[in-house]
A and B are shown apart, each in its own frame.
Chain A
Amino acid sequence: MRKKISIFLVGVLLLVTALTGCSSAKPEAASGAESTNGSEAASGAETTPAAPAKDTLIVATGYDAKSLDPHATNDVASSNIMEQIYDTLVVLNSSNEVVGSLAEKFEVIDELTYKFYLKKGVKFHNGEELKAADVAYTFKRATSPIGGSIAHIVGDIDPEGLEIVDDYTIIVRIKTPNSAFLPSLTHKGGGVILNEKAVEAAGDAYAMNPVGTGPFKFESWAKGDQIVLTRFDEYYGEKPSFSKMVIRAIPEATNRTIELESGGVDIAYDIATNDITRIEENKDLKIIRKMANSTTYFAFNTLKAPFDDIKVRQAIEYAIDTETIVQAVWRGVGAPAVGPVPPNIKYFNNALGKPTYDVEKAKALLVEAGYPDGFTAKIWTNDKKARIDMCTIIQNQLAEIGIKTEIQVLEWGAYLEGIKNGDHEMFMVGWSTQTPDPDMSLYGPFHSSQKGKNNFSYYDNPKVDALLEEGRKLADSKERQAIYEELQTIIREEAPWIVMENSETVVGVRSNIEGFDPSPFGYHVLYNVTIK
């Protein structure tokens, strides 16, 4: 009997060790290079990192990528990886101008026709050379149903109008004139160039076997845990100074900071506000901040009473103390927003100023609108903590002018469905400008053709529609600037949105990391970082 018990126990033991043993083998091998850091973390020493020979960059991000097929998804976490793996035809330089990248140069032939001259000798990670055929294949695929999630970025491309002039020259035609087209090609997702052979060979598995022309190539992906990239030695541009990159998904902000402090990671994205001082005070760490191109806004379903009344919307705008809210929730990170176009995007209209807080005026406007005693309404938000927090404060502030509200936190899926059905009343959400053009900031959320899709507030103003259409067509000019500035003014005045906050990217970095410059789009270049 006793023998049986011990056999049983030993059996369980063996089973578990066997299972855990074989399962851990792979990831451990992958993270072998970080072992110097790991042991340091374990001993709790706060001395400088060990060897100068450190050759691996470890980055902590909040979310794992969804897919590394750039046409299959459009989320920041995936773009963040794709940024390191893929290249686009054109990029933005530091003064936000579009310049060549894979394309050595490009010509705008007319408002619908663009011609790109490719660099020669650019190699994909599978050894293939970049040819015009790959570009044509890429854009054809991007505009097919496969590219549904990036259709709003490159959907203008006319798949029938792709013309391969020779191996290194291609003409791309778009369906309607759009001055935002070139900037949209810089999007790390919609604009990246794929290798026809690699995509076809991998089929559905491409999402986990990406092949690009970038400085790093894909090595392994432990879903939900980490992605490992290695340096691509045949990269056409400047070679990275380190040979391996590990991007770990650590959803909890607190945990990211702890890992950064202990040296488990070199760079940690999205540092929680309350950890900023802690990092700043740590001599081994530093904080890098940059305003991001996204705007959080509080808005109304303008089809529903009483929110169809401009006065009610304005009253609410006056009743909300955005400055205090942003300070309370973000405590020094980000800034109260001025308008629907983020400050880093061109034609940002700074003259508008922040929304003013004036309870008396708000009450007066409500009386004018015929609601002297206020009313009751629902506030929707998704489950991002900062948004819930802002709504919680707004709820309190609206109560002061007699508006009783109930907050409903919805999952993203339910949220979108509710918006589509028009079930919403007031809601909190964000909009990010994914390509560096104000068209991207305004067309989706405010054009009447986008109602229920991206125009969550069902805003419908013919004048705004006309201006948005006009702005699309014009090339950059004073005239275009005037249009977008006017648009921002109208929108602020009519208040379908109350802009709340422009977010800020806050990244924690170990002191031995140099050259890290976050991007306002949220996907940051990591390959040109140096480790001292």
Chain B
Amino acid sequence: MNTVKQKKNKKKSIWLDVWRRLRKNKMAVGGLVIIILLFLTAIFADWIAPYSYESQDLLNMFQTPSFEHWFGTDEFGRDIFSRIVYGSRISLEVGFIAVGISLIIGGSIGAIAGYYGGRLENLLMRCMDVLLAIPEILLAIAIVAALGPSIANLMIAVGISSIPGYARLVRASVMSIREQEFIEAARAAGSSDFRIIVKHILPNCMAPIIVQATIGVAIAILTAAGLSFIGLGIQPPTPEWGSMLSGGRSYIRDYPHMTLFPGIAMMVTILALNLLGDGLRDALDPKLKN
């Protein structure tokens, strides 16, 4: 019997199964569709946006939505629709890269702690406790202040501030798998620790990580937008949704469209990610559903 092949097939069928369950969840599919659309928007922003995100028209400031400017114009006469289209790039970039950062660092810490255990684990997890004790947004603010304002630093700040969550999650998953037989088998066969972690343990604790990461992207986008809203991180004329909101804030009484559209864009994005995250959780862990 070819056990390896069987195992592979089994793995494949698990993901197929997940996909089958996910497909049945209308909300999750809706979320997925929105996210795909957002990615397309971000990739093809140059074609989609009718105007440049920075071209000003000081004669046409504060235009309300019209045929020429679907979402109106802002305080520099810039087309808000175009800015939102380009803004999707920033938000997706920040969201995914920040989560990437925290996933790589937090995941490594968690995997090492969970796999080796003992003193090392204790030390690493106490460090995580320290980070965890500081509210994410405060930590992110302090990091951005220290590193200086730029999109890259914003990603780093948001990423670092959510490391402990991933470290804990991965550690818990690794610990639950560490003692299983196939790990023992791999160990007996002389695989290196690194190989065991990467090849055998991590693939088997992907489910909770994927769910957490999906929702994590939403949280990262929110945190980043929050930082931009209080004026940290994004440099003008970058069309970041949070900074657009903050820019429109002073004009909210006269020109609410300036805050309405970026807010809707943000909410829809985050809603979509949350829907997908929820759907994935149900699909990956079907026993919770029924």
Q: A254-B252, A407-B237, A409-B236 are in contact. Are A389 and B76 (CB under 8 A)?
A: yes
Q: Which of A257, A328, A410 contacts B76 (CB 8 A)?
A: A328
B43-93 residues at the A interface, CB under 8 angstroms: 54-56, 58, 61, 75-76
A193 to B145, CA, bound (A): 38
For A388, list chain B residues within 8 Å (CB): 236
Q: How far is the CB of B101 from chain A (nearest CB, A)?
A: 23
B231 touches A409 (CB 8 A): yes
A411 to B58, CA, bound (A): 27
B237 touches A395 (CB 8 A): yes
Interface-side segment among B33-41, B172-180, B199-207, B243-251: B243-251
Is B149 in contact with chain A by the CB < 8 A criterion?
Answer: yes
A205 to B60, CA, bound (A): 53
For B252, list chain A residues within 8 Å (CB): 254
B251 touches A274 (CB 8 A): yes
Tally the A-B contacts, defined by beta carbons under 8 Å.
Answer: 55
Is B286 in contact with chain A by the CB < 8 A criterion?
Answer: no
B76 touches A254 (CB 8 A): no
For B61, list chain A residues within 8 Å (CB): 328
Q: Which residue of B lies closest to A406 (CB)?
A: B235
A257 to B251, CA, bound (A): 12
Q: How far is the CB of A403 from chain B (nearest CB, A)?
A: 15
Is A361 in contact with chain B by the CB < 8 A criterion?
Answer: no
Q: A254-B249, A254-B252, A385-B250 are in contact. Are A393 and B58 (CB under 8 A)?
A: yes
B237 touches A324 (CB 8 A): no
For A410, list chain B residues within 8 Å (CB): 148-149
0/1 string, A506-527, CB within 8 A of B gives 1: 0000000000000000000000
A341-393 residues at the B interface, CB under 8 angstroms: 383, 385, 388-389, 391-393
Q: Which residue of B lies closest to A253 (CB)?
A: B250
Is B253 in contact with chain A by the CB < 8 A criterion?
Answer: yes
Q: Which residue of A lies closest to B251 (CB)?
A: A274
Is A197 in contact with chain B by the CB < 8 A criterion?
Answer: no
Q: Which residue of A lies closest to B148 (CB)?
A: A414
A274 to B254, CA, bound (A): 8
Q: A253-B250, A274-B250 are in contact. Are A328 and B236 (CB under 8 A)?
A: no
For A406, list chain B residues within 8 Å (CB): 235
Report whether over half of chain B's contact residues are helix, strand or loop; otherwise say mixed: loop
B253 touches A411 (CB 8 A): no
A407 to B235, CA, bound (A): 6
For A476, list chain B residues within 8 Å (CB): none
B231 touches A383 (CB 8 A): yes
0/1 string, A219-259, CB within 8 A of B gives 1: 00000000000000000000000000000000011100100
B149 touches A328 (CB 8 A): no
0/1 string, B218-240, CB within 8 A of A gives 1: 00000000000001100111000
Is A449 in contact with chain B by the CB < 8 A criterion?
Answer: no
A393 touches B56 (CB 8 A): yes
A392 touches B236 (CB 8 A): yes
B250 touches A272 (CB 8 A): yes
B54 touches A391 (CB 8 A): no
Q: Which residue of A lies closest to B149 (CB)?
A: A409
A414 to B237, CA, bound (A): 20
A396-447 residues at the B interface, CB under 8 angstroms: 396, 406-411, 414
A272 to B237, CA, bound (A): 22
Residue among A252, A389, A392, A408 with most chain B CB within 10 A: A392
B246-281 residues at the A interface, CB under 8 angstroms: 247, 249-254
Q: How far is the CB of A409 from chain B (nearest CB, A)?
A: 6
Q: How far is the CB of B78 from chain A (nearest CB, A)?
A: 9
B237 touches A274 (CB 8 A): no
Q: Which residue of B lies closest to A395 (CB)?
A: B237
A391 touches B251 (CB 8 A): no
B139-188 residues at the A interface, CB under 8 angstroms: 145, 148-149
Q: How far is the CB of A227 from chain B (nearest CB, A)?
A: 24
B236 touches A254 (CB 8 A): no
A411 touches B145 (CB 8 A): yes
Q: A328-B61, A392-B76, A393-B56 are in contact. Are A409 and B235 (CB under 8 A)?
A: yes
Residue among B56, B61, B232, B250 with most chain A CB within 10 A: B250
For A414, list chain B residues within 8 Å (CB): 145, 148
A360 to B56, CA, bound (A): 20
Q: Which residue of A lies closest to B232 (CB)?
A: A411
Is A278 in contact with chain B by the CB < 8 A criterion?
Answer: yes
Q: How far is the CB of B20 from chain A (nearest CB, A)?
A: 40
Q: Which residue of B lies closest to A324 (CB)?
A: B58
For A253, list chain B residues within 8 Å (CB): 250
A393 touches B149 (CB 8 A): no
Q: How far is the CB of B250 from chain A (nearest CB, A)?
A: 6
Q: A328-B61, A407-B235 are in contact. Are A278 and B76 (CB under 8 A)?
A: no
A254 touches B54 (CB 8 A): no
Q: Which of A278, A328, A385, A391 contacts B253 (CB 8 A)?
A: A278
For A272, list chain B residues within 8 Å (CB): 250
A468 to B145, CA, bound (A): 38
A391 touches B236 (CB 8 A): yes
Q: A328-B76, A396-B56, A414-B148 are in contact. Are A275 and B235 (CB under 8 A)?
A: no
A204-229 residues at the B interface, CB under 8 angstroms: none
Q: Which residue of B lies closest to A414 (CB)?
A: B148
A275 touches B253 (CB 8 A): yes
Q: Which of B76, B232, B253 contacts A393 (CB 8 A)?
A: B76
For A411, list chain B residues within 8 Å (CB): 145, 149, 232
Residue among B247, B249, B253 with most chain A CB within 10 A: B253
26 residue pairs from A and B, CB less than 8 Å apart: A254-B250, A257-B253, A324-B58, A328-B58, A328-B75, A328-B76, A383-B231, A385-B247, A389-B75, A389-B76, A391-B236, A392-B76, A392-B237, A393-B58, A393-B76, A395-B54, A396-B56, A407-B235, A407-B237, A408-B149, A408-B235, A409-B149, A409-B235, A410-B148, A410-B149, A411-B145
The 8 closest A-B pairs by CB, nearest first: A383-B231, A328-B58, A392-B236, A396-B56, A407-B236, A274-B254, A392-B237, A388-B236
Given contact pairs A254-B250, A396-B56, enumerate 19 new A-B contacts (beta carbons under 8 Å). A254-B249, A257-B253, A324-B58, A328-B58, A328-B61, A328-B75, A383-B231, A385-B250, A389-B75, A392-B236, A392-B237, A393-B76, A406-B235, A407-B237, A408-B149, A409-B149, A409-B235, A409-B236, A414-B145
B residues neighboring A (CB under 8 Å): 54-56, 58, 61, 75-76, 145, 148-149, 231-232, 235-237, 247, 249-254
A residues neighboring B (CB under 8 Å): 252-254, 257, 272, 274-275, 278, 324, 328, 383, 385, 388-389, 391-393, 395-396, 406-411, 414
